[in-house]
Structure formats: structure tokens, C-alpha cells
């Protein structure tokens, strides 16, 4: 890590399921002082063990040269930046704001435009892969930024990611993340449907998924969401829930509509998420849409 970065103070806003391990990796590997804020004090107490200092959002805006946000939605990002007491009123020229959250493409563009007006650099760098990858520091991060900003923040992102891609100008990071989740969860939907059909026909779904893994239906979704969640019908809470996945898919549908694409697969998936939420599965790990189809079969295995 360069001497310039090591001498800087980093800010981190939002240390939830993904943000906490990311913040920990930054504190352990960047060599910089890290200050963080969150409404929940428990992860902040845990982060004290790696010398992360708790701070208010105002203190972060005042003291940190580079600030990361890891927040639940684009709506929350907009409140944090544009709200009455938000960052836009507190930041100053020369600082850099990096959004690790999944936000709409339009939000990234609006953030960049407004921040540029006050001399603040902005990048959308939404994280991909799982909570386990965040804990291991092996996330994948597509970055939307100009060349100068990407060069500045890439070494920091590599503290918590093994794959860092300069996807293009601001907004492109969100395009990659949103469409990635669309493709992954459309595959998850197909796996959920396939398991339900196999169960109803009387076939062992484990044999079905094992056969998929040796054939052309093999995929990341099969290896992770399929074998680890859909097959055993285990959908823990405090993972990436149905409600978050639905939010991301609505961003994908909105992006498609913006450019005149009728994303029928994504719309169908949103409808399945709605059914899962209405059935009480909204806080469960997102492949819990499988339970909607399993309830139709009357069998769980």
C-alpha cells in the first residue's frame, strides 16, 4: 500500500452484514486509520478490536479523505448523501466518496453530478459474491469511475476483493452488479422450479442437481444457492434476504425499462419474490423463493 494512502484517514458508513468485514479488512490491511459509523453499536464494538474508531457521520465527513458507504439500498444512500443533514452539506473539495452499496444507475449518476459540483470525486463500486466472501476478503468489485479515481481507490478495494474491474465511467459498476444479480437469481428461480418438479415426479433432487453439475446446467448459482440452500431447503436469516433480492431486481427492471427492454424474466422473478414475501419468507435467504414452489408440491424433499 502506498505511503500516501497509509497516511490518510478512511471513513466507513454502514457496517452491517457486508460492511463490517469489509471495514475490518481495510483496517487490517490498508495501514490507514479507519473511522466508522452505524446505527447499530454492536458491530462497531467488534471493530474496535482492529482499531476502527467509532465516529459520527459529521466527523467522518470532516476528517476522512476517502469515505466508503455500505448501505441497504439506493434510497438509504440518497438519504445519507442528500438528506437535510447529509454528506453533501458536509464534504469538501478533494475528498472521495465510494458507494459499495447496490443502488440504481440513476442514483450513481445523480451522486456523481452533485458531488462533482463541490469538487468531490465519486465512484460506484458495488460488491459482488457472498457474505462468506466478504469475510474472507475475496469479493468481486466492478468499479464505475474516471481513471484518476479508479487509480486512487483500487489499492484500497483490493484489501477486501480479489477481483477488481474498472467497468467504465460512473454508473457502470451498478450496471454490472444489477444485471449480475438479475442473471444469478433468474437461474436460482429455474433451480427452484426444477427441484419442485423433480420432487413431485418422485425423483431424488440431489441426484438431479448432481447431474446438472456434470452437464450444461452447471453454474455458480447451482454450486452455491442450489446445493447449499435450495437442495437442503435451508434459508437462514441474516444472509442476503428475499427483500433485498427483490429490491435489486426492481432496479434491473427499471434499468431495462429506461432503455426500452422488456425484461420479462426479471419481471417474473419479481413476482416470485412477491409471493415469497407474502408467504412470510421475506427475511429468509433469497433462494427461499423455492419454498413457494415446494408448498405447491406438498413435499419438502
Q: Cβ atoms within 10 A of the Cβ of 257, count?
A: 12
Distance between CA atoms of residues 155 and 124, nearest Å: 15
Annotated active-site residue 29? The verdict is: no
Give the Cα separation of 50 and 81 in Å (integer): 27
Paired sense of beta strands 66-69 and 53-54, if any: unpaired
Q: Are 33 and 53 in contact (CB under 8 A)?
A: yes
Residue 80: exposure state from Cβ atoms within 10 A (0-12, 13-18, ≥19): buried
* Residue whose cell numbers read 469538501: 92
C-alpha cell at position 249: 431486481
How many Cα atoms within 13 Å fall on the side-chain side of residue 290?
33
Cα–Cα distances in Å, from 198 out to 55, 206, 233? 53, 10, 14
Which residue out of 90, 177, 238, 267 is catalytically annotated?
177
Beta carbons within 10 angstroms of residue 61's beta carbon: 21
Which residues are the active-site residues?
A: 177
Amino acid at each position: 500500500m502506498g505511503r500516501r494512502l497509509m497516511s490518510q484517514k478512511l471513513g466507513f458508513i454502514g457496517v452491517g452484514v457486508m460492511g463490517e468485514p469489509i471495514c475490518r479488512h481495510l483496517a487490517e490491511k490498508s495501514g490507514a486509520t479507519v473511522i466508522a459509523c452505524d446505527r447499530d453499536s454492536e458491530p462497531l464494538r467488534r471493530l474496535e478490536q482492529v482499531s476502527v474508531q467509532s465516529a459520527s457521520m459529521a466527523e467522518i465527513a470532516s476528517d476522512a479523505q476517502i469515505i466508503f458507504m455500505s448501505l441497504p439500498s439506493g434510497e438509504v444512500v440518497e438519504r445519507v448523501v442528500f438528506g437535510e443533514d447529509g454528506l453533501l452539506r458536509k464534504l469538501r473539495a478533494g475528498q472521495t466518496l465510494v458507494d459499495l452499496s447496490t443502488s440504481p444507475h440513476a442514483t450513481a449518476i445523480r451522486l456523481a453530478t452533485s458531488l462533482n459540483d463541490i469538487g468531490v470525486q465519486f465512484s460506484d463500486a458495488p460488491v459482488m459474491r457472498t457474505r462468506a466472501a466478504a469475510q474472507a476478503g475475496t469479493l468481486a468489485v466492478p468499479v464505475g469511475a474516471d481513471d484518476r479515481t479508479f487509480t486512487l481507490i483500487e489499492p484500497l478495494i483490493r484489501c477486501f476483493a480479489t477481483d477488481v474491474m474498472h467497468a467504465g465511467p460512473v454508473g457502470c459498476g451498478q450496471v454490472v452488479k444489477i444485471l449480475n444479480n438479475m442473471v444469478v437469481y433468474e437461474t436460482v428461480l429455474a433451480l427452484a422450479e426444477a427441484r419442485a418438479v423433480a420432487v413431485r415426479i418422485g425423483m431424488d433432487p440431489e441426484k438431479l442437481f448432481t447431474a446438472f453439475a456434470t452437464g450444461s446446467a452447471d453454474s455458480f448459482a447451482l454450486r452455491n444457492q442450489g446445493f447449499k440452500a435450495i437442495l437442503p431447503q435451508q434459508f437462514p436469516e441474516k444472509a442476503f434476504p428475499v427483500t433485498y433480492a427483490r429490491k435489486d431486481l426492481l432496479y434491473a427492471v427499471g434499468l431495462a425499462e429506461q432503455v426500452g427492454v422488456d425484461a420479462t424474466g426479471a419481471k417474473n422473478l419479481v413476482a416470485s419474490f412477491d409471493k415469497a414475501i407474502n408467504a412470510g419468507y421475506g427475511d429468509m435467504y433469497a433462494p427461499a423463493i423455492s419454498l413457494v414452489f415446494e408448498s405447491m408440491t406438498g413435499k419438502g424433499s
